[in-house]
Structure 1
Amino acid sequence: MATISRGVLLNLAVLALLSTLALADSDSDRAAELFALQSRSKSGVIHLDDHSVSRFLTSTTTPRSYSLLVFFDAAQLHDKSELHLQDLRKEFSLLASSFIANNAENPSSRSKLFFCDLEFKESQSTFGQFGVNSLPHIRLVGPEVKSLKDSEQMDQGDISRMAESMSAFIESRTRLHVGPITRPPLLSKMQIMIIFTLILIWVPFAAKKVLAGETLLHDKKVWLISAVFVYFFSVAGTMHNIIRKMPMFLVDRNDPSKLVFFYQGSGMQLGAEGFAVGFLYTIVGLLLAFMTHLLVRVRNVNVQRLIMGSALLVCFWAVKKVVQLDNWKTGYGIHGFWPSS
């Protein structure tokens, strides 16, 4: 009986060892498959669907030898400029390609993290398993994660601050080194050579014009128009719109056939709002410049008074509109007062 017991125990140990090796081989096979899919992708981002998510995540045992950083996308929402899905997808691709390039000589690190994306129409079931109900959305599925809903979501702040903040998120959660983000140059070598050649051809003609005083920089009208443009650019909040990538208008949620040009609320400003207020400010500035520089040259006093009175009425109307818009948008009132005697 003792001999039989030892044999049974030996068989059980062998079976346990074989099962462990089988699981290890299965995990390594999946990692190798992910590595092959990554190599075939130009940006290093692996496109997943419901079947591949089951293959690499839900049907596996934990712990896995790899982590997946998943970008959730929806092609039907690419026209929603306020979501910036296409721009964020490009940043995600830059993040993936930079990680691969910076760890080219360290295959062990490359095989521990893979960058993937999911498209809503192709993977609605997986979206539900993750519990994703809004975009943009990025999840990190670690080796120990069993339920997809338990995976770690990247904060909206990390997503909106582009690839560099995404890199910091990865390094803080996975202890892997992403390295510097490598962005493609704005111009190719051929384009730079063409531009340089054109500049060399243009320099002698430009020098001749400068010495003769016949360039646009010598024209007062150009400086006047440029000054007005800079003034409008400043008071219209254009720099804010560029930095925040604010849309010119929104589509009314209640009636998609209508467009919203003015958004009520101090937390957001549309491009059309800035241009409207900038236009009113520019009118006031131009009228004041006209009255102080050109109107004083008119010799007829009655004409001066008539034009000045009309200009002041227009200025009063423009400032009143700006005050009304500010009060409607923010809820803060601006009240004028007359000094007492």
Structure 2
Amino acid sequence: MRVLSLLSLLVLLGSCAAASERATKLVARQAASKDGIIVFSINDFEEFAAAKGRDYHLMFFLNAHYMAKNADMNLPKLRQEYALAAQAFKRGPHPNEAFFIELVYERSKDVFQRLGVQQLPFVFHWGPDAVVREGRSIKVAKSSECGPSIKAYPWPAEELLRCATGNTGLAGGEVDRPSALKHPLFPVALLAFIVVGGYAGWLAYNSPFVKITPLWALGALAVYWFATSGGMYNIIRGMPIYYRGQNGKLVWWMEGRSGQLGAEGFVMGSSYLFFSSTLASLTYVVPRIRSSAARGIASLVLVLLAAFTAMRILSTYSNKSGINMRTFFSFYH
């Protein structure tokens, strides 16, 4: 009986020593990481996540490099938020009791398959009591997943940290987002910007270059063209200028009401600008022509160009919206 008790004690001590050794390795790898995230391979997963007798928590972020350019998932940005959460937890009172891990599909396909991952992103908690059976699928409890309950995306570091602290029961630190305002040289840079900017503004104000009226006119036309082309809408919504069709050819214009590309907006903005320019020319340019015959011809040409442009604009509007407008140009339809 004493022999069995002694053997059990030795096994327990050996298990504790092994667990302590694994935790020490994780602490060292965490310290060597620039952003506080430890990248696991398949062997690392077996050693640190599948081993029994663990006394630490693991947070997993599943990533795939081949999906890095997917704008909807925005995995690089999400990884940055995950790194901020990892750094915040490290600043807390329990930095060596939970570790933030990244599993990359290209290096850990077998683990992804055993986890049954159907889609990314996938962030979850893996506690000391979680069990991995060799060769079998790995079940992750729904309560251990982070993300489904978070409304904002990419998931903010604050929410990921809240998920980690909630699952581990360990407190973390505050999320410290990098900002130029926190840099110690920011006051100096701000003062230099004010001085240099003020001096540059004074030089520009007294420069004859900025008093050239045509430049201001061209600038106003550029702003008008950009605004009527939906330039800001394209930037805010991430509207593509074009896309490549199934046959490999570039598509700049989508027919009918199926959608709209950024290039279409710039075509219409250019049409508005051209139409406005013809009317402005009738008002300000034609009266300066001395020859009455030339004035008549120029007026006729400008009116025809304006009418043709207006008809094209109305036709495009009807084609895109499905609304047939009854106007002076209805004969065109």
What TM-score do the two structures reach when normalised by structure 2?
A: 0.72
Counterpart position of 2:23: 31
Q: Distance in 2 between matches of 1:128 and 1:261?
A: 40
Tell me if structure 2 keeps the 8 A contact 1:94–1:183. Answer: no
User: 1-side partners of 2:213 and 2:232: how far apart?
Assistant: 26
User: Against the structure 1 CA distance between its residues 121 and 241, is the aligned structure 2 distance closer, same or farther, given a 3 Å change threshold?
Assistant: same
Supply the distance in 2 between the matched residues of 1:232 and 1:295 (Cα, whole angstroms): 20
Residues 259-307 of structure 1 show CA distances to partners (whole Å, capped at 9, x for unaligned) of 55568999997xxx1242143134214422541x331232435632431
Does 2:80 match 1:87? Answer: no
Matched, 1:40 2:32: yes
Distance 1:267 1:171 in 2: 46
Q: Which moved more, 1:41-50 or 1:195-204?
A: 195-204
1:283 to 2:277 alignment: no
Which of 103, 120, 123 is the matching residue for 2:105? 120
Q: Provide closer, same or farther for how the CA distance between residues 207 and 41 of structure 1 changes in structure 2, counting only shifts above 3 A.
A: same
Pairing 1:70–2:63 present? no
For residue 150 of structure 1, give the secondary structure of its aligned residue in structure 2.
Answer: coil
- Whether 1:214 aligns to 2:226 is no
Partner of residue 166 from structure 1, selected from 140, 143, 160: 160
Aligned-pair CA distance for 1:317: 1.0
Answering whether residue 178 of structure 2 is matched by residue 183 of structure 1, we say: yes
Q: TM-score normalized by structure 1? A: 0.71
Alignment of structure 1 residues 50-69 onto 2, 5 Å:
50-61=42-53, 64-69=54-59
State the distance in 1 between where 2:88 and 2:225 align. Answer: 40
Q: Distance in 2 between matches of 1:260 and 1:197?
A: 47
Indicate which of 296, 303, 311 corresponds to 1:308. Answer: 303
- Go from structure 1 to structure 2 and tell me whether the alpha carbon gap of 1:208 and 1:77 turns closer, same or farther (over 3 Å shift): closer
Tell me, yes or no, if the aligned pair for 1:43 and 1:97 is still in contact at 8 Å.
yes
User: 1:91 and 1:233, CA in 2 relative to 1: closer, same or farther beyond 3 A?
Assistant: farther
> For the residues of structure 2 that align with 1:201 and 1:320, how far apart are their CA atoms?
52
SS of 2:124 mapped into structure 1: strand
Q: 1:29 to 1:163 in 2, by over 3 A?
A: same
Q: 1:76 to 1:225 in 2, by over 3 A?
A: same
State the Cα distance separating 1:87 from its structure 2 match.
3.3
Q: Unpaired runs of 5+ in structure 2?
A: 133-137, 288-294, 329-333
**Matched pairs, number:** 310
Q: Is 1:154 matched with 2:147?
A: yes
Compute the displacement of 1:44 (Å): 0.9
Q: Which of 246, 262, 265 is residue 274 of structure 1 equivalent to?
A: 262
Post-superposition offset of 1:183 = 1.4
TM-superposed CA distance for 1:77, in Å, is 3.6
> 2:30 and 2:111 mapped to 1: Cα distance?
20
Match of 1:335 among 297, 305, 324: 324
Cα distance in structure 2, aligned partners of 1:42 and 1:115: 13
The one-letter amino acid paired with 1:295 is: L
Cα contact 1:277–1:322 (8 A) shared by 2:
no
- CA RMSD after TM alignment: 4.0
- Are the structure 2 counterparts of residues 81 and 188 from structure 1 closer, same or farther at C-alpha, using a change threshold of 3 Å? same
Partners of 1:266 and 1:21 in 2: how far apart? 72
Matched residues in 1 for 2:55 and 2:262: separation? 52
Q: Once the 2 structures are TM-superposed, how far is the Cα of residue 40 of structure 1 from its aligned partner?
A: 0.8
User: Which residue identity is paired with 1:214?
Assistant: P
Partner of 1:68: helix, strand, or coil?
strand
Report if the CA contact (8 A) 2:229-2:266 is conserved: yes
SS of corresponding position for 1:59: coil
**Cα 1:15/1:36, change in 2 over 3 Å:** same
SS at match of 1:335: coil
Moved more, 146-155 or 188-197: 188-197
Corresponding residue number in structure 2 for 1:140? 125
